[in-house]
Amino acid sequence: MEQASFEFSQEGNCLNNQDAAEFLKIECLGSLGIDREEKCFYVLKTEGWSIDSVQELQELFDRIHKSLFPQK
């Protein structure tokens, strides 16, 4: 596997006065391929993604890591 892409969505936050959903794309890229290195660089792409705590973002990365490296 050379790279992987994960897309997430959530309801918009209550501070922006809009009911629009928020979208986050996280790409995982490896210089030698994800399979060979068993790690990746994360690239975050969004026009707006809100979190209440750092833990929320950590949970997304944990979920991605389990998908890519289930034995770790």
Q: What confidence tens digit (pLDDT) does each residue in 44-68 have? A: 999 989 888 999 999 999 999 999 8
Q: Contacts by 53-60 with C-beta closer than 8 Å and gap 24+?
A: 60/6, 60/8, 60/24, 60/26
Top pLDDT among 16 and 59 is at 59
For the entire predicted model, the pTM comes to: 0.81
Identify the domain containing residue 37 by its residue range. Answer: 3-68
Average pLDDT, the chain: 87
* d(C-alpha 20, C-alpha 23), whole Å: 10
Amino acid at 52: D
Quick one: pLDDT band at residue 36, thresholds 50, 70, 90?
Answer: confident
- Say what the pLDDT of residue 16 is: 61
* d(C-alpha 47, C-alpha 14), whole Å: 16
Number of domains in the chain: 1
